[in-house]
Structure 1
Amino acid sequence: MDAGQTDGTGQTREAGGPSASVIQAAWDDPKQANIIYHDAEADSYDDKWSISFDDRCIDYARDRFVTIAGTTGWPYPSALEIGAGTGFFLLNLVQAGVVAREGAHVSDISPRMVTTATRNAASLGLTVAGRVADAESVPYPDASFDLVVGHAVLHHIPDVELALREVLRVLRPGGRFVFAGEPTRYGDVVARRLSRATWWATTRVTRLPMLRDWARPAGELVASSAAHALESVVDLHTFVPAELAGMARRAGAVEVKVRTEELTAAWFGWPVRTFECAVAESKLSFGYRMGVYRTWQRLAAFDARYASRVVPAGLFYNALVTGVRAPEARP
């Protein structure tokens, strides 16, 4: 459908995109907002968040898994990622040897994200099944998987406890779930304030005559369509660690554990990410990117070894949670 055509309801719409009325309605419908926003982001999401499927992100995904769940059970014969996005977490866990290469499945509420995830899998030589799925009603039979994972997904789901019940339903008895990258309540407040301050400072400094070539082109600073503006709608929750653990237990999980990470690493990482979004891409060299990554690694290591001993868990940015479906009682 070309720009200016209608979607059957008399509403004009951008080429390939939802109508203005559908987008407007999504402001009051978080699930629809997630579909529209993530469909719009699918082709550029990996670049936006520096997602890759090389050693850097393989190590990151494996380390997050080990931090909360250890190394027992590797490789898991079958695994599902819910809210998979472009496949970042599961595909890198497969490459790390956490999940068997033949047993991976991805799902997401966004059809275009599922397409991107399966395309990424194919580019890595992996055969991964994909389904469009609502995390509150997962379209798989009971006891289908040995492992369910997700990264930065729970905070997008309206009813987190219901989603965790679905996760436990599709796990086999004794199967495990692992979710990482979930924002804590207080860590998120600090990160957002640092990001806003960085954006304000960077966009003003790059207006100076001697720094104008650092400014990102004006057109790139504005969302390419109304769909991208829904980013402010799709983030529904932040978590208090003890409350997140309580949700998992009420859903029926056993052996529940919650950990948090990234204090100084988040204080560094979020302003850097914001700075990168505000300046011209051509100014960000490979050397710069590797320097940023190594600095983040050192700060994350400091947080894990030292800060975690004295700083309350709720002040760290990222929450990780794991739990197990109770094994069946022996007769």
Structure 2
Amino acid sequence: MTTSQHDPAPNPHATEEQVAAAYADTKLAQVLYHDWEAETYDDKWSISYDERCIDYARGRFDAVAADAELPYGRALELGCGTGFFLLNLMQSGVAEKGSVTDLSPGMVKVALRNAENLGLDVDGRVADAERIPYEDNTFDLVVGHAVLHHIPDVEQSLREVLRVLKPGGRFVFAGEPSTIGDFYARWISRATWWATTNVTKFGPLQSWRRPQSELDESSRAAALEAVVDIHTFDPGELADLARRAGATEVDTATEELAAAVLGWPVRTFEAAVPPEKLGWGWARFAFGGWKKLTWVDEKLLHRVVPQKFFYNIVITGTKPSQD
């Protein structure tokens, strides 16, 4: 479980001057925002490395790559965050050895720590997705979750992905926001945040209100989040972009419409109230409700609703066997 000795150290406490500069520099914003979030990110997004998230990660992979011959030898996760996607895929048998990269030193640190705790063979680098610091033809598989929409030049990044893949290697990127899905998710989240933070100002509901300092910090983070979230995608246009980068056998799938309409207000509400107020009953409601609405999406809505209306996009492609 190693990282490069030349990688920068995490910076979880950015200065006011650095934050101000980040509004005009999206890559600086990526580093500051994700370094700030790294140590609490798994809790914020209910990320785990047990059967629940192993099944979730594998489901995203199988949505576009169910016919893949497993396991892959060496896999790279681009924009790894805390390692959620690759580490859970490795636990499900998708890959034997892994490498994690992220622009945020804090995220690489946490991802490597998670890998070590799980006993997985993983190394890591702080890296820009537009200039991946590995040799040509290094990896059998490249994966990422909710990363492409953070990258300024997505086509250049996909060219780099194809460069580091071995001939015939595959990439799978999941959790990318659709343009329509992102629109309704953001409005639902804003409405939930406004309602929760205002209703809890009064009477007995005040015990459900986080300290104002924490709410202010969350608001500042949300403002910076608007800088780091650069793109949304139409599924067909994203597929065309991958083909222009040189990928073959490109395919997309989408997920979460009804599930997103529940999931986004649930996550926003959890961020606005003290965590000790939300017990096992709430967790069972949130996860159980999401599972039921995911079934509705998969069995019913996918038959009648166009892909572009679902929130998440999953895309795969392969590197031509002969360059």
The TM-score by the shorter chain falls in which range?
Answer: over 0.9
Aligned to 2:273: 279
Amino acid at match of 1:182: E
Give the one of 216, 223, 230 matched to 1:222. 216
User: Relative to structure 2, which stretch is displaced further, 126-135 or 202-211?
Assistant: 202-211
Q: Name the CA distance, whole Å, in 1 between partners of 2:90 and 2:228.
A: 28
Q: How does 1:97-116 map to 2 (within 5 A)?
A: 97-100=93-96, 103-116=97-110
Which of residues 67, 81, 84 in structure 2 aligns to 1:85?
A: 81
CA contact (8 A) 1:68 1:320 kept: yes
- Residue identity in the other structure for 2:140: D
1:57 to 53, 57, 60: 53
TM-score w.r.t. the length of structure 1 is: 0.91
Q: 8 Å contact 1:206–1:214 — kept in the other structure?
A: yes
Aligned-residue CA RMSD in angstroms? Answer: 1.6
Which residue of 2 is the match for residue 140 of structure 1? Answer: 134
Distance 1:225 1:309, change over 3 A: closer
Summarize deviations over 1:275-299 as a string: whole Å, max 9, x none. 1111121111123112211110111
Which structure has the larger Rg?
1
Counterpart position of 1:191: 185
1:187-215 Cα deviation digits (max 9, x unpaired): 11001111111111112222231222112
Instruction: Give 1:242's match in structure 2, choosing from 236, 244, 250.
Output: 236
Partner of 1:326, secondary structure, is coil
Structure 2 unaligned segments of length 5 or more: list them: 1-10
Greater helix share, structure number: 2
What corresponds to 2:36 in structure 1?
40
The answer to whether the 8 Å contact 2:82/2:110 transfers is: yes
1:23–1:226 contact (8 Å) kept in structure 2: no
**Corresponding residue number in structure 1 for 2:65:** 69
State the AA in 1 paired with 2:302: S
Whether the 8 Å CA contact 1:261–1:304 is kept in 2: the answer is yes
8 A contact 2:12–2:32 mirrored in 1: no
C-alpha contact 1:155 1:183 (8 A) present in aligned 2 = yes
User: 1:23·1:227 contact (CA, 8 Å) conserved in 2?
Assistant: no
SS, match of residue 77 in structure 1: strand
Q: State the partner residue of 1:292.
A: 286
Contact in 1 for aligned 2:173/2:314 (Cα 8 Å): yes
Q: Does 1:255 align with 2:249?
A: yes
Q: How many pairs are equivalent? A: 313
Offset, 1:18 = 3.8
Per-residue CA deviation, residues 238-264 of structure 1 (Å, 9 max, x unaligned), is 001111001100000000001111000
What is the distance in 2 between the residues matched to 1:146 and 1:110? Answer: 24
In 2, Cα distance between the equivalents of 1:225 and 1:192?
A: 14
Q: Residue type of the partner of 1:85?
A: G
Amino acid at match of 1:91: L
Partner of 1:32, secondary structure, is helix
Letter in 2 for 1:174: G
Q: After the TM superposition, which of the residue ranges 253-262 and 215-224 deviates more from structure 2?
A: 215-224
Output one character per residue of 1:102-129: Cα deviation in whole Å (capped at 9) or x when no partner.
x111000111111110001111112310
2:115 pairs with 1:121? yes
User: Aligned partners of 1:325, 1:257: CA distance in 2, in Å?
Assistant: 13
Which residue pairs with 1:161 in the alignment? 155
- Paired AA for residue 194 in structure 1: I
Equivalent position SS for 2:217: coil
Amino acid at match of 1:171: L
Q: Does residue 324 of the first structure (1) align with residue 318 of the second (2)?
A: yes
3-state SS of paired residue (2:69): coil
Tell me, yes or no, if structure 1 residue 302 matches structure 2 residue 296. yes
Distance 1:20 1:32 in 2: 13
- Contact 2:12–2:36 under 8 Å retained in 1: no
How has the CA–CA distance of structure 1 residues 151 and 319 changed in structure 2, closer, same or farther, with 3 Å as cutoff? same
Alpha-carbon distance, 1:227 to partner: 6.8
Which residue in the other structure is 2:166 paired with?
Answer: 172
Shift, 1:16, TM fit: 6.4
Partner AA of 1:81 in structure 2: E
TM-score normalised by L of structure 2:
0.93
Whole-angstrom distance in 2 between the partners of 1:176 and 1:203 = 44
| Aligned equivalents of 1:288, 1:158: Cα separation in 2 | 38
